[in-house]
Structure 1
Amino acid sequence: MKVAVVGGGWAGIATAVSLVDAGHEVVVFEMAPQLGGRARSVAGRPDYDNGQHILIGAYRDSLALMRRLGVDPDLVLQRLPLALPYPGEPGLRLPPGAPLVAFTRGVLGHAGWPLRARLGLLAAAGGWLLRGFRCDAGLSVAALCAALPHEVKRDLIEPLCVAALNTPAPQASARVFLRVLKDALFSGAGSADLLLPKRPLSDLLAGPAAAWLGPRLRLGQRVQRLEPGWRVHGDKGSEAFDAVVLACTSVEAARLAADIAPAWSATAQGLGFEPIVTVYLHSTGSALPSPMLALREGPDAPAQFAFDQGALGGAPGRFAFVVSGAAPWVARGDCGEAVLAQALRELRWATPPVIDKVLTEKRATFACTPGLRRPPAFIAPGLWAAGDYVDGPYPATLEGAVRAGRAAAQGVAGANPATSGSPTSSPRA
């Protein structure tokens, strides 16, 4: 089959590679001048990433895709056991080993929490485990964890929730959060490990994918409309295909599918969004006590995490402060200055830090709220969607995008062109 993939982010790359491996002819349309979507280096400034990203050991499909493109994850990612140190505090640290044993040892060994807090977390986690990490779809993370001790909610639940779902705990889906905890903390040895990029973000996937896909790429070309049958109309003419995968943003996908599948398009248009702000500070001669620090956010403290890019193979003296669920700070307009003040209060510096760059992604992820209705991967015969927003158990993560891309490719491959592309199944991301 000849397949058009619209969008060259991680979902589009996963779709294209899977289709090529299955023997199909593929053309990738990407409106930007480079691949990578929201997880790439800044165009023209490869020393800056479009926000600070991390992976975890449970991202098996993402790591497999990197290997397929000739990237050795051990060379481009720094693997660290899960640890959430705070300034001046060791925080929760999980030792290596079997997941249940490591989690229990890590919690019991967290001297910064009183015993009642440690036992409270273990009791709650045991209950989640007995229930198969399932809960009512309408439950929020804050409601799920309401009975947990304050220290546990402040130092573990809330930062993990906003990091994984990019949605504050009172508005975040408990069902999705429990699935993240299950896969990260209890799915196998090393699944909770943090994988921090120690090379520019585009070196992880976008650059190798561009070399691997080569002449199949149409960079800098936006798809203007789709004609059932399937004809793709772009900036530089039109071309006929047997099938199309919309691996672009939900906004673009909804636009392109509006006349073809109005109900699907309306569901995609109904998604809300949460921003992420990354504030880069520079301080000559300074270093953080660990490559990643957790921070306690508050009315005057926007950032939840800080990363020492010098310790991760990047520019010495550069630090990335991440503000997830950043809608209030985007509205205020002073996020960079507030992060700088937070950094000055909470950390020690060899020289006074200054703001280097502020990157704001206003539609970084969909808002992962309770009972959220997400559009399915199957749109219409011969037309599929791939993106971290499609219906599935995961929030908007790199792994969710890659899995969605693989699922869409399997849907295309399972369709029979002789029957107008009717799917044999509708896989979920």
Structure 2
Amino acid sequence: MNVAVIGAGWAGLSAAHTLKKAGCAVTVYESGHQPGGRARSVQSPDLSKPVDNGQHILLGAYTETLALMKSCGVDAAEHLHREPLYLGTPNNTFRLRPPRFPGGRAGMLFGLLGALGLSWQSKYHLVRSLYQLERKHWKISPDTPTLSQWLRNQKQTHAACKYFWHPLCLAALNTHPDEADAQIMANVLKDSLGNRHKGATDVLIANDLLTSLWPTQVCRSLNLHLSTPIRRMTRSKNGFCLNDRYEHAAVILATSAHSAKKLLADLPECNDGKTLHTQLSTFEYRRIATLWIELTQPWESLPPRPMLMLEDDPKQHAYGQWLFNHAHIKGSRNRNLLAIVTSDANVLESLPREKAVHYLLNQLATETGDACPMPTIRGHTFVVEKRATFAATPNLARPAAQTPWRGLWLAGDWTDTGYPAVLEGAVRSGLTAAKHVLVGRVQSCL
């Protein structure tokens, strides 16, 4: 079967890799000059080496991504810094360090009991809420659609929300708890805290560019057309015609939801097609901002953790939420790097870039005041992804992989994966779309 995959992000590449292994003839079309999608690299004249367009993390629970790496012959232990989940501020105002054993929810409960910066009242209600959530099989009543509503019902204290729930929600869903779908957050907790497999809650950070994890290896074996935007898709006698030029029996549309809506416009009209168009129109997008800072030497005097929490407070012009210190990432290709991440960066939209950078650097200096002085800054670059993710709001009708048009499938972290807009969701969506194509191939032979 001759299959086209439109989009060379993690969703498209995982689909193409699966189809290629199954013996399909696969062609991948990518509008950009490099693969990777939201996990591509950028080159800045102010930095000595390329960096990712954002500081991404993986979790030990991301089973499909790790399996994909293994199938490509990539050793995760060599390319990923791995350590148990740690939540803590640079000045140790808050510190949560679950033990390695026992893992999962039990480990988190032990960690919460020993957490620094939470009262016993906060710890009690936190532990109680997680225990009850597991007893209910990680299902949240529709009566409490947003995470903030659920937290109020669970009597979570201000400190618990500030240091535990809000950071986790922003990191996982890139959506403020006042808007975030409580059930999607529960799904994330189920696959991490509720996962009894050892290391499910571990944090995994690439020590090189994300494309080195597996996309580079996959692309070597694919018929990949870079800088080839697909602007038109129509029905043809044997399947689909792209740009009035490329004929394919089946297509996996692995672009953003915004781009997918445009490409579907020239297909034959049908009722289910109108429903899909409506679904694709309801997404609200969120920005993610990353300030990459290159120092003249590694900043080793900070707490020896690659990922630290920052206390964001937009009213005080403190917009950073996470600090990544590559001095403490095992095998890092550039130990002089720092990254300040703002997961829900729409709040920065009205600020000039220079002003945003100024505020982030001031926040960093304020919150690391108890550490040794930061080494001299060699250079920095500010990367803002305008459509980095979608708002994971309640009752958001995300489309399935199947479309009303036979032979056309959708893939992307915005499809109905049960996950928020994370890399694992993108990989899973690509695998799902590829499996549908393969099932269709078998059925056509019967």
Instruction: Give me the TM-score of the superposition, normalised by structure 1.
Output: 0.92
Counterpart amino acid of 1:209?
A: V
Counterpart amino acid of 1:3?
A: V
Find the counterpart in structure 1 of residue 328 from structure 2: 311
Find the partner of 2:75 among 68, 72, 77: 72
Find the counterpart in structure 2 of residue 126 from structure 1: 131
Task: Work out whether residues 319 and 360 of structure 2, in 8 Å CA contact, stay in contact via their aligned partners in 1.
Answer: yes
Find the counterpart in structure 1 of residue 166 from structure 2: 158
Task: Work out whether residues 254 and 266 of structure 1, in 8 Å CA contact, stay in contact via their aligned partners in 2.
Answer: no
Q: Note the C-alpha offset of 1:221.
A: 0.5
Task: Work out whether residues 242 and 417 of structure 1, in 8 Å CA contact, stay in contact via their aligned partners in 2.
Answer: no
Q: Note the C-alpha offset of 1:266.
A: 2.7
Task: Work out whether residues 231 and 238 of structure 1, in 8 Å CA contact, stay in contact via their aligned partners in 2.
Answer: no
Q: Distance in 2 between matches of 1:387 and 1:30?
A: 14
Task: Work out whether residues 284 and 316 of structure 1, in 8 Å CA contact, stay in contact via their aligned partners in 2.
Answer: no
SS at match of 2:167: helix
Counterpart amino acid of 1:143?
A: Q
Shifted more, 309-318 versus 117-126: the winner is 309-318
Counterpart amino acid of 1:378?
A: Q
Counterpart amino acid of 1:302?
A: Y
Q: Note the C-alpha offset of 1:42.
A: 1.6
1:224-248: CA deviation from partner (whole Å, max 9, x where unpaired): 21111323324xx612111100011
Counterpart amino acid of 2:411?
A: A
Find the counterpart in structure 2 of residue 2 from structure 1: 2
Alpha-carbon RMSD: 2.0
Find the partner of 2:401 among 373, 377, 380: 377
Q: Distance in 2 between matches of 1:418 and 1:194?
A: 41
- The yes-or-no answer on 1:86 pairing with 2:110 is no
Shifted more, 323-332 versus 5-14: the winner is 323-332
Where does 1:347-366 land on structure 2 (aligned, <5 Å)? Answer: 347=368, 348=371, 349-353=373-377, 356-366=380-390
SS at match of 2:233: strand
SS at match of 1:373: coil
- The yes-or-no answer on 1:295 pairing with 2:310 is yes
Find the counterpart in structure 2 of residue 336 from structure 1: 357
Task: Work out whether residues 255 and 265 of structure 1, in 8 Å CA contact, stay in contact via their aligned partners in 2.
Answer: no
Q: Distance in 1 between matches of 2:311 and 2:367?
A: 10
Find the partner of 2:252 among 241, 245, 254: 245
Task: Work out whether residues 417 and 428 of structure 2, in 8 Å CA contact, stay in contact via their aligned partners in 1.
Answer: no
Counterpart amino acid of 2:363?
A: Q
Q: Note the C-alpha offset of 1:352.
A: 4.8
Going from structure 1 to structure 2, the CA distance change for 1:416 and 1:210 (only over 3 Å counts) comes to closer
Q: Note the C-alpha offset of 1:417.
A: 8.2
1:307-342: CA deviation from partner (whole Å, max 9, x where unpaired): 112332132332100001110112233322211110
1:180-235: CA deviation from partner (whole Å, max 9, x where unpaired): 0110112122110000111122211222222232xx1111101121111323324x
Q: Note the C-alpha offset of 1:418.
A: 7.2
Seq. identity, %? 34
Counterpart amino acid of 1:69?
A: C
Where does 1:223-242 land on structure 2 (aligned, <5 Å)? Answer: 223-229=230-236, 230-234=239-243, 238-242=245-249
Q: Note the C-alpha offset of 1:377.
A: 1.1
Find the counterpart in structure 2 of residue 427 from structure 1: none
Unpaired runs of 5+ residues, structure 1, are: 422-429
Find the counterpart in structure 2 of residue 171 from structure 1: 179
Where does 1:235-274 land on structure 2 (aligned, <5 Å)? Answer: 238-260=245-267, 261-274=273-286
Q: Distance in 2 between matches of 1:259 and 1:131?
A: 45
Going from structure 1 to structure 2, the CA distance change for 1:40 and 1:27 (only over 3 Å counts) comes to same
SS at match of 1:168: coil
Find the counterpart in structure 1 of residue 227 from structure 2: 220
Going from structure 1 to structure 2, the CA distance change for 1:87 and 1:62 (only over 3 Å counts) comes to same
Q: Distance in 1 between matches of 2:391 and 2:116?
A: 34
Find the counterpart in structure 2 of residue 108 from structure 1: 113
Q: Distance in 2 between matches of 1:232 and 1:301?
A: 50
Q: Distance in 2 between matches of 1:415 and 1:13?
A: 20
Going from structure 1 to structure 2, the CA distance change for 1:182 and 1:417 (only over 3 Å counts) comes to closer
Q: Distance in 1 between matches of 2:390 and 2:69?
A: 25
Q: Distance in 2 between matches of 1:407 and 1:120?
A: 38
Q: Distance in 1 between matches of 2:44 and 2:118?
A: 46
Find the partner of 2:426 among 378, 383, 401: 401
Task: Work out whether residues 284 and 350 of structure 1, in 8 Å CA contact, stay in contact via their aligned partners in 2.
Answer: no
Q: Note the C-alpha offset of 1:87.
A: 1.4
Q: Distance in 2 between matches of 1:357 and 1:310?
A: 18
Instruction: Give me the TM-score of the superposition, normalised by structure 2.
Output: 0.89
Counterpart amino acid of 1:223?
A: I
Task: Work out whether residues 5 and 12 of structure 2, in 8 Å CA contact, stay in contact via their aligned partners in 1.
Answer: yes
Counterpart amino acid of 1:364?
A: A
Find the counterpart in structure 1 of residue 270 from structure 2: none
SS at match of 2:349: helix
